[in-house]
Chains A and B, each alone.
Chain A
Amino acid sequence: MAWFRKSARQRHETLDEDLWTICPSCKVHTYKQEWQAGLKVCPKCNYHERIGCMERRDLLVDSGTWREYAGHVTTSDPLNFSDAKGPYSEKAAAAKAKTGLSESVLTGDGKINGIPVSFAIMDFSFLGGSLSGGAGEKITLTAEHAGRHRWPFIIISASGGARMHEGIVSLMQMAKTCAAIARLNELDVPYISILTDPTTGGVSASFAMMGDINIAEPRALIGFAGRRVIEETIKQKLPDDFQTAEYLLEHGFIDHIVARKDMKEFLHRVLQYSQKH
């Protein structure tokens, strides 16, 4: 009867997983419904779980106002790249199928409490939110579009950095996107950067750090070099809070840490200072 006992236990575990979310940070169990209703934030320790670009959009944009922009841009394979796991083109196709996205960033326009805004929202589940030629192109086109309309531009970052499968093309997107941000600055068009977990590498070292206002979600990992690389370089253990949103706030690189549930209201308050008075 071994098979019976095993399947009973499996059923029990499935039931468990269906009902509860275990916080990866404090291990406290929360009812799944409560976890969802709390925007995937732990009610006990304020851990902010990573969420997708669609969820983010729905949290920030007035319902019925979203219009996608530059949605035709999708992943290219400029190097015809292949690694140990096979061709990059297959990897990218799998990411598209899994996420339903065309690239690691969703771009478009929507309103925040009636104020029109252009958005670029990165999605970590698409190849680690990596910055590719396609992603850089979408961000740049949307920044240019925001500039033409004089609409504030908001980028929400969630990325491990440049996508190495596209080689130098990825690296150049850092310069390309920053040049687009520079043009918004010239036009006095507001640009707000929201840094979520994680914002590292080439994304932290380009548009994500260049907001008129830099906002981070609590405890988001934000930094240039990886923790392991730094520890190997300096031959020292790094403090636990190193490269957290709180650490960056303390060091002067972030204006505000804002909880997910308060983000839309905070953006609205800030944006009002940038509108015609």
Chain B
Amino acid sequence: MDLDFEKPLEAIEQRIAELKALNNRADVNFDTEIAALERKLQTASKRVYAKLTPWETVQIARHAERPLLRDYIQGLCSEFIELHGDRCFGDDQGIIGGFATLRDQRVMLIGHQKGKTIEEKIKANFGMASPDGYRKAMRLMHLAAKYKLPIVSFIDTPGAYPGFEAEARGQAEAIARNLTEMSLLPVPVVVIVTGEGGSGGAIGIGVGNVVLMLSNAVYSVISPEGCASILWRDGSKAPLAASALKITAAALQEQGVIDEIILEPEGGAHRNPAAAINATGDAIVEQLRRLKKISSKRLIEQRYEKFSKIGRFKK
């Protein structure tokens, strides 16, 4: 599946594939042509990806082949012992978590799960967690505090689930409690926005000592479509809203919300998932090594300072 702005690249790629196929069976040689096309592809893709609009970045962040939580777990963790249930109501699949050995680090890993196949997507509610998911995450984070395990939290959600049951069981309370209790966690909390950082549903597991973000991920107070339909009274103005909301990694780093941008391979994580996952692993491990040297007291203070600085009034 290619995105609109990727179509010119797709055309070149196809031509290269055709020539390569001919090279294999005919006694003609297209090596020169192929090399030229490959150079052309490189320049073209540099041009396309160097000036992605915020709306195009949203498309990449939501790309169907973008690596998801299970891919990160598979790629980075030699062991993952999933822990289930919120001990109140159920075992939401919009957020999962458990003990993980990430490279050489034992951690409590939590994150939004979107699902790959249609069955998985439905089970995970497309990454839109219910209160039970937020409560399960908080239970695991408290367990991490007890076992002195650092917490690694992967964010990738369109938002918290806007459903009848979710409201009845206290979506607002569940998120509010996580925000409050995460601020006092005595262990390092590393947050990574890997795809979509959808509003309250994202920050609900997003109170970290550091917040990392993949270069084509987005993080926003409201979806561009939602913002456009309210402020422009026209959902199709989403590209405008995406620009106005300043939701890209670079813009968020400027606003002091993101501490580090993890560079994706050219074309986005979906074009080379292994490289994106690897870079993410490197960044997480580096942060864990640094944060593990800091006292609990200082970790709590530093997290408080990080968030209280955002929106601090200056005049």
Contact B311 A167 (CB under 8 A): no
Stretch among A6-14, A204-212, A255-263 lining the B interface = A204-212
Q: Given the complex of chains A and B, what is the CA–CA distance between A234 and B168 in angstroms?
A: 14
Contact A251 B303 (CB under 8 A): no
Q: Could you give, for residues 33-49 of chain B, a 1 whenever the CB lies within 8 Å of some chain A CB and a 0 otherwise?
A: 00000000000000000
The answer to whether A164 and B183 touch (CB under 8 A), given A176-B310, A209-B172, is no
Is B280 positioned at the interface, with any CB of A under 8 Å from its CB? no
Is B274 positioned at the interface, with any CB of A under 8 Å from its CB? no
Identify which of residues 215-248 in chain A touch chain B, using a CB-to-CB cut-off of 8 Å.
222-226, 229-230, 233-234, 236, 238, 242-243
Contact A133 B163 (CB under 8 A): no
Contact B167 A243 (CB under 8 A): yes
Interface size on A, residues (CB 8 A): 64
Neighbour of A178 across the interface among B180, B230, B313, CB < 8 A: B180
The answer to whether A173 and B311 touch (CB under 8 A), given A79-B244, A205-B171, A253-B170, is yes
Contact B206 A175 (CB under 8 A): yes
The answer to whether A180 and B311 touch (CB under 8 A), given A168-B255, A253-B173, is no
Interface size on B, residues (CB 8 A): 56
Is A140 positioned at the interface, with any CB of B under 8 Å from its CB? yes
Q: In the complex, what's the smallest C-beta–C-beta distance from A204 to chain B, in angstroms?
A: 4
Which chain B positions have C-beta within 8 A of A73? 313
Which chain B positions have C-beta within 8 A of A136? 311
Neighbour of B244 across the interface among A82, A134, A137, A180, CB < 8 A: A82
Which chain B positions have C-beta within 8 A of A78? 255, 311
Which chain A positions have C-beta within 8 A of B183? 175, 178-179, 182-183
Q: In the complex, what's the smallest C-beta–C-beta distance from A86 to chain B, in angstroms?
A: 11
20 A-B residue pairs with Cβ-Cβ distance under 8 Å, sorted by A, are: A78-B255, A79-B246, A81-B244, A83-B232, A83-B241, A84-B234, A84-B237, A134-B311, A162-B222, A164-B221, A169-B311, A172-B311, A174-B203, A182-B180, A183-B304, A224-B172, A225-B167, A225-B171, A230-B163, A242-B164
